[in-house]
């Protein structure tokens, strides 16, 4: 997932992203999490955690 790779790169560099960045990525992930033909993407929760960590919102 492109969003996950971007979040990993941010974390690897020790950089942070603003809350607006995390909110935009969260909207994309929310849309992707909607089931299609009874299928769900299992990685979305983990990618969401990466995005929140990159924005400094660790869980």
Q: What is the DSSP letter of 24?
A: H
pLDDT value for 41: 75
Q: Name the residue ranges covered by the structural domains of the chain.
A: 2-54
pLDDT value for 15: 87
Which tokens hold the place of 51?
Answer: 């995005």
Can you give the pLDDT of all 59 residues of the chain as single tens digits? 799 999 999 999 998 899 999 999 999 999 988 877 766 777 888 899 999 999 987 66
H or E segment and range at residue 37: none
Which tokens hold the place of 46?
Answer: 């983990």
pTM of the predicted model as reported, rounded to 2 decimal places: 0.70
């Amino acid at each position: 997932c492109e969003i996950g790779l971007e979040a990993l790169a941010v974390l690897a560099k020790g950089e942070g992203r603003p809350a607006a960045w995390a909110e935009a990525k969260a909207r994309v992930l929310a849309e992707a999490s909607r089931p299609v033909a009874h299928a769900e993407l299992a990685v979305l929760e983990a990618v969401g955690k990466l995005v929140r960590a990159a924005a400094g919102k660790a869980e």
